[in-house]
Structures are given as C-alpha cells and as structure tokens.
Structure 1
Amino acid sequence: MLALEGITHRYRDGSTVSLPTWQGGSGEHWAIIGPSGSGKSTFLHILAGLLRPAAGRIVVGDQELHRMGERALDRFRGRHIGLVFQTLHLVAALTVTDNLRLARYFADLPRDDTRIRTVLGRLDIDELADQYPHRLSQGQAQRVAIARALVNEPLAILAAEPTSALDDRNCRQVMALLTEQARESGASLIVATHDGRVREYMEHTLELAPGTSEAHHA
C-alpha cells in the first residue's frame, strides 16, 4: 500500500501546500496530473521521502516514512523506491553496469551482477553494459535510468515528468517501458506530470488543482 494522509508542506519562502488524502494499492498505476504550482512534484518527493512534510502521514509498504530517521529512510528508499526523473542523473564517470552497482551499494544491498544483467536484458540494453553515459543516445540513457530504478526490485517506481520534453513517438516508448517493467516486477507506478498524454497509459488518475488541495480521482 502507498498512502498520503493530511499532508501539509511548507516551502522555504513560507508558502504552504496541502495535498489530498490518497491511497494506492500494490501494483497499481497512477498518473498525478496538474499544472505548475499544483503540488504534483511535492506529492512525488514526499511519497519518496525526499521531502519532510510539516504535517501528515506517509506510508509505503508497511513503513511510515515520516517516523523514520534519515539513515533508515535513505536505506529504505534505496531498497524499495525506484526513482526516474526527467534529468536522468547518471554518473558520467561510471559505466552503465557501475551505475547500477552504485544503486545497490547506496541501498546497502550486496553486489549482484546477475541481477544487473537480467534487468539490462529485459530492457534490451545488455550490450551497453560497459558503455559510459556520454556514449548513449537519449533513448538508451532513459532505459538505463529505468534499469537503475528497477535493479533493487522496488515496491514502487516514481517518475517525475518523464515525457514532457518528448515527442509523441518517444512518449509512447517511455510510457510503454515504464508500464511494462512495473507490471513485470509487480511494482506500483506513480507518474507526476503536466503531460496529459500520460493518462491513456495509466489505470488511475489523481488530478491536482493549482494552489489548492482539491483533487479529482479517476
């Protein structure tokens, strides 16, 4: 289960946003839709434990993230939450394989090159294992970022604006990869975006209104 309850977040400039109470079941696919200022990025970052709310309850699996210390939260996030952002944040000095090894290292998981090869193979990029990020096309780099999100077998995959800079063809490709890989691994998939094209790929939608805590479920 994934859940946010009674969340209020206070930004550094003193402004606040209240997010709607929301619950997602295991393996469900959700689009969090809204324009700039609606709180969708805040929603995702709080669900990932990257932001601490001023008030409210965050549940991922059987853990209450708001009650966890920073070190335990970092370890839990690394093991159970896969993150895919529009800016891919691959480490330029490391090969594709070493980028995935690093994800396991930060999660306090043992080195598992068999798992890494399996994930790369599922995404049809196993031949890129020894390449460096600067040698990859944008599409290849996106697949590596998805592989990194999957390598630790997460409970949830969270993606922030993965398609907003893409044309229709590449949008279809990225969303097909995300939904197929989430389904194969049994992970929940949560995509926060202002890109309305994402709706057609997702089973559920939460629409956030700008500047308010209002929301519409579908």
Structure 2
Amino acid sequence: MPERGTDNLDVWVIVRCFNEASVVRGVIEELRGHFPNVIGVDDGSTDESAAEMLAAGAMVVRHPVNLGGGAALQTGLEFALLDHGAAYVVCFDGDGQHRAEDAAAMVDHIRSTEVDILIGSRFLGSAQDMPRSRGVLLRLGRAFERLSTGIKLTDAHNGLRVFSRRFAATVDLQMNDMAYASELLGIIKRSGLAFAEYPVTVRYTDYSRAKGQRSINSVNIATDVWLHQVLKGRRR
C-alpha cells in the first residue's frame, strides 16, 4: 500500500463546470494523468457536462440550477474535505485554459514549503494569445484587489489555486458569483496563513475567448464586492 501523498492520493482536484460539454472530458482526462481524485461540480449545466465528466473518471456533484463560480467552489471544497486523508485541494477551471502539469507542479511545490495557499500567475508565467483587452482588465482588477483587500498579487483572478487542508477548512464563501475571488482574498488575509504565487501558463483558445467575461462583467463584480463589504460592515 503506497503512503498517503504518493501519486497525489492525498489531493482532490475541484473542476467547476457550467455548460462545458465540448471540452470538459479532455480537461478531466488530462488531470487524471496526475491526480486520481477529481470532483466535477456541475453548476446547473443544461448540456451533457455531467455525463462527460463521469465518462472521464471524475466523481460528479450537481447543482440543480446555476448558482455561480463561488457556490461551485464551495461545494467542491466541502466534498473534498469529507475525505479525512485529503491534505491538499486544487481549484481548476473546466474550460481548458489551465494545464494539468502546472497543477501537479504547484502541488509538488506546496508540499516542499510552509505555504498554505499557492495561487497561479499567468503574469509570472505565460498567457498564450491573451486578448489585449483581457490583460488590461486583469491589471485593473489587480489594482482594485490591492486597494480593497490589501493582498498584493500579480494575478488576483487566476482560477488555478492549491490550498492546504488547514486553509481549505476555513473557507466559507458567501458570494456565489465570480465576485467570490475578491471574497477569497479577504479570507486569505484574515487567515494569517502564508501564501505565494507560482508561474503557470493560461491557454486562450477560440473556445475560451468566446466564453470569456465581457468588460461590463468586471464592473458588475466590483459593484458586488463593494456592496458585500458595505452590508457586512453594517451587520457588525
């Protein structure tokens, strides 16, 4: 019997998915080459995403309706932590932008350090064929996050992350939509645990660019974050 940690048996990968049936099987199959434990969170898809993830070897949890990226991540974290032997959790998008080899390298790195949160950075690594407008928005988002949370990252909205169990157990996301990324940074700051960035490659394909967020969505996210902070302050 191999020791816990050998061949990443103590790692769960969470793949958030909403209507990614045409690509998500390949994403899962790529991950399964490095990680035996993959949980696909089908966030109310209306296509065959759940079936594709199952066919690729993932365990699948389904939301009956689309709740958003934050809700899907929270569901995945709660599922992964049911395994008492899970030492690390990897967050991974279902659209094919991330590389499984980067996730594996990040897990190897976090095992060898005192870091509890490791966040991928395309700006330290590579962003293949990233639209210029997307780069501008990401840099504006980085400035916004530094002002709102005090966390200084080069790539605040990268979906590829690795958490230790110690940190993952503290996460209780209340923002269901993509604004969860800002809420997560606040949780990181309040945890007092060590975090770092790691260079990764983000692949911008015709498919992922077509599904990318519109510019107005960045404004909506910033508004959601501001409202969340104001309302939270009033409840104290």
TM-score by length of 1: 0.28
Q: Relative CO higher for 1 or 2, CA cutoff 8 Å, sep ≥ 6?
A: 1
* TM-score in terms of structure 2 length: 0.27
| Structure having the larger proportion of residues in helix | 2
